[in-house]
Amino acid sequence: MPASFAQLNEDKESSPCLERGDQPTVTMWGAQRRVALDVLMACWGIGTWLGVNGLYVQLPLLVERLPEGWALPSSMVMAVQLANSGLLMYALLRRLAPRVSDAVYIYALLVIGTLALVLNAFLYEQTAMVGAQERSVAYLSLTFFAALVGCTSSVLFYPYLRHFRDVYLATYLVGEGLSGFVSSLLALVQGVGGEPQCLPSADNSTLVPHYPPARFDTTVFLLLLGGLSATSLTSFIIINNYKGFASERVAPAAAQKDDEATSVRPSLMAPRWVGVMALMALLNALSNGVMPSVQSYSCMPYGTRAYHLAVTLGAMANPAACLAGVWLRPMRGRLLAAMLVATAVPFAYILATALLSPTPPLQYSAAGETLVVVAWVLASGTISYARMWVYGWARAGGARGMRLCGGVGQLGSVLGSASTFFIVNYTHLFVQPDACPAINQLSL
């Protein structure tokens, strides 16, 4: 296998777009391969980010039903970031039990992810008092365990792939990208049910919102995701144990040689490296911290449908951007910079609608609803493509470059998530109105 494939072992970034733009997919598909193993690799890859993506596209329904309300996405983002502690747990276990096969850890992760989704299907509405506030303890705790799979896959699943011919890397990555696409497709089929209706409470003292049901509820949705995660686990069991795939494996000596491959790399302290790594930190802070935390405030004033479409279509823009990086020639740095500058316009509109919530511009018009959805899709797709571009550029730095790229990206994610969580939950910059008074005023 080429030395570039071995560098996957060193990555620390939990991005669904990892390395898609750097694989020789044009010639790869002409190579001899086992189609059954391709299918199994894709099914295994689906399980990596299924939990995070699936729970994320359920937010348009959950923010109306869980006590955090529109602040729920910021809490979920923090739970996902905390799941990066799985990297530390894996490193500790490797030190304590160095002879344990990586396959054992992969089994454990996929079982944890499947159980987290299935349990969340029945427990997501269970709350508890934390301090003086009601919190969705079950939902956020199980989100943490579901996110462990994706956050740890970059340092556990990719190294395992070195035992197979490199032609199967592409199909695994296709499955990884489908984890977002499939969950978004299910969410589009599910729908959101419509706007709430204000009905008198049991004692007629207040009006309480009643939300029309979607085509199927969150319990069914999460059980479907749990089934897909179980399929991922089953696929890996077959991949790891079926003797019929022995001809597709790489000899242990070759894999070890590939692991140790090195070459001369440029200095990582050069100004260009510093600039690109700063860009990676900013992109991750926006995509993993700021944007998902404020999306409810930006979209919900335009209606549940607008929020639903912005989340699902934005999630689909991520793998679409990754596929664009596979089939299109790499973009020049200046052109990418111009594209990012242009993206500042929809991003500024996103922030403006969130900060002006609950009365953003064009609130009760089709134009306003369309504009906010388009802004979210454009911003999500452009940032996803830019992150993938940085990953490809960082490959020039070898293992050290990928470690630096992953570490800086994760630092940006943590800082963006933590700062936005504090702003959303402990300041009054983002405001959620009471559903019934807003609807009553509208009807007047």
- pLDDT of 14 reads 36
Phi then psi for residue 199, to 5 deg, are: -125, 150
Asked whether 374 and 314 are in contact (CB, 8 A), the reply is no
Instruction: Note the pTM of the prediction, 2 decimals.
Output: 0.78
- Give the type of residue at 134: E
Question: Over its length of 444 residues, how does the chain's per-residue pLDDT go in tens digits?
Answer: 333 333 333 333 333 333 333 333 334 444 567 888 989 998 999 998 899 989 999 998 898 889 998 899 999 999 999 998 888 898 899 899 888 888 999 999 999 999 999 999 999 999 998 878 899 999 999 999 999 998 888 778 877 887 888 778 777 877 887 888 899 889 888 887 666 677 776 667 677 777 777 788 899 999 999 999 999 999 999 999 988 888 888 776 555 544 444 445 566 677 888 888 899 899 989 988 899 999 999 999 998 889 999 999 988 887 777 666 656 677 788 888 899 999 999 999 999 999 998 899 998 899 999 999 999 999 998 998 888 788 777 767 766 776 677 778 888 888 999 999 999 988 888 988 876 754 344 444
- pLDDT of 366 reads 92
- pLDDT of 65 reads 85
Asked whether 224 and 118 are in contact (CB, 8 A), the reply is no
Domain that holds residue 102: 3-443
Asked whether 142 and 120 are in contact (CB, 8 A), the reply is yes
What CATH number corresponds to the domain at position 402? 1.20.1250.20
- pLDDT of 285 reads 92
In whole angstroms, what is the distance from residue 67 CA to residue 126 CA?
Answer: 10
- pLDDT of 234 reads 96
Asked whether 182 and 46 are in contact (CB, 8 A), the reply is yes
For tokens 């934005």, name the residue. Answer: 314
Say what the alpha-carbon torsion angle 210, 216, 222, 224 is, to the nearest 10 degrees. 180
- pLDDT of 276 reads 86
Asked whether 406 and 9 are in contact (CB, 8 A), the reply is no
- pLDDT of 322 reads 65
Tell me which H or E stretch contains 154: helix 137-160
Counting the structural domains of the chain, the total is 1
